[in-house]
Structure 1
């Protein structure tokens, strides 16, 4: 999404993101291809580099559509991951250096456990996690040791 928006004027961002959402939430590859053709027809004349980047990356994008919708949402919603990475960076930056690897891991572990009261989601929980966990266990339970 961000890569696409870097080519576009800010005034078109909401329309572009709405069109792109139809692609990455499509129930199947043919439906995604159809949504992409509509997207390309709407935006290629104005932002040819944006559409070309999607065309170049299409083969890498298609396997994403094999995931169930709940897992896809977990993948494309990176806010939780970015938030945790920012907390890790802040925790390690404040300390400068560590005597050994165990000390660094301990700081990261405590950072994960720390509640952040000034955040809308102080525990870092993911909305809809139970549905995602059910889908993951049914789809990838052998990898998770759940089957």
Structure 2
């Protein structure tokens, strides 16, 4: 359950991947181009999130008992 709640590693990984996309580009002509790049990067990054949460049934039971 703790691993599910503390998501700093996954958030930091997401930010690192976004920074990597932005760092490779030199300059942007407009704010709209940055938004489009973030959208495409987000689609690419989230497509890899197909792995199910391990022990989800056990975590769900613990949460229902606590709350």
What TM-score, normalized to structure 2?
0.58
Contact kept in structure 2, 1:80 and 1:124, CA below 8 Å = no
Q: Relative contact order, CA 8 A, sep 6+: which one is greater?
A: 2
Alignment of 1:105-144 (within 5 A): 105-114=35-44, 123-125=48-50, 127-128=52-53
Q: Which structure 1 residue ranges, 4+ long, deviate > 6 Å from structure 2?
A: none
Matched, 1:90 2:20: yes
Match of 2:9 in 1: 79
C-alpha change, 1:84 and 1:111, in structure 2 (3 Å) is: same
Shift of residue 76 of structure 1?
A: 1.2
Bigger CA radius of gyration: 1
Unaligned runs of 5+ in 1: 1-68, 116-121, 136-147
Say how many residue pairs are matched.
56
What TM-score, normalized to structure 1?
0.30
Unaligned runs of 5+ in 2: none
